[in-house]
Structure 1
Amino acid sequence: MISYFCQLIGSYYGLNDENYIFISKKHNAYYTSKNEINDRSKSLIESNFEVQKGGTIRKNLKDIINIMIKNKEKIRVFSIHDLRATFGMNLLKFFLRNNINYDFSYHYVSTRMGHSSYKTTDQYFRNYRVNQVFENVENYYDEILYSVR
């Protein structure tokens, strides 16, 4: 855990909420966001900056999926984007289940995910509401089926 914080501190954004989730040992992101490219273009400090396009993390994910398939684990093949979307949905669930202000939650998720359009963030909120309906129905039937009378 200490090395992760060292990686964050040494990275472009440092130790704050704007930073990436996955940082390499060399303090770089595995995939460079449009926001960072834009921020760096405005910066007066010149550095040896190379845009990362996610090749390393895609290869690592492919290797993990291949191991899971070889071990006959029942999985649905997933992508980096699926993991990103899962992060966004989990972030949204955390805010809404803890009664965090809706407007704050909406803006934070949109900003953190780097959505260029609020329509994309709207999809996360719609999916959350649909999932809540299914979860409520499932809980209701579980209660009926497993209640002791």
Structure 2
Amino acid sequence: MSDAQGPGESGPQTQLPAPPPSSPPPPPPPTAAERGGMRALFLSITGLLLFFLPIPGIALIGLALLIAGVVTGVRARRRARRILTRAPGSIGAIVIGTIGLCLALMGVVLGSLVATEYGDYLKCRSSALTITDKQTCQDRYFPQIEHKLHLPKGSLDRYRSMM
């Protein structure tokens, strides 16, 4: 054997280091169903929080967001079932939105039952000039509200400072 290099050969061969192992590919972006579930959860929670703020206009926005949260959650569940994937947050959105809507419905029913008495109470209270006059308004209208709701006498007394 000769030490002479043959055609196509070049000096001593050095081995190149092995390339680093490739990292796994990035996860695919969330599907429409996955985004819809989280969006629905956000809508339901925001709607529930806004509904219970004591500002009338904001409560209506909260009610609309509760409805939107339930509808979006149901749509996300259906879309996920159709493409055989998950819709994280959609069940929570449906549950929270439904509970919020039930509470809203109970509030509307309760408010409509005592609307006339409570309206008269607010009118009396706004025309009251002294603390004694305000107390007289409570003494006059609270028993009417209790009677209308079939509550025991004096059950609204603990809420006098709030109204």
| TM-score, structure 2 normalization | 0.24
Question: Highest Rg: 1 or 2?
Answer: 2
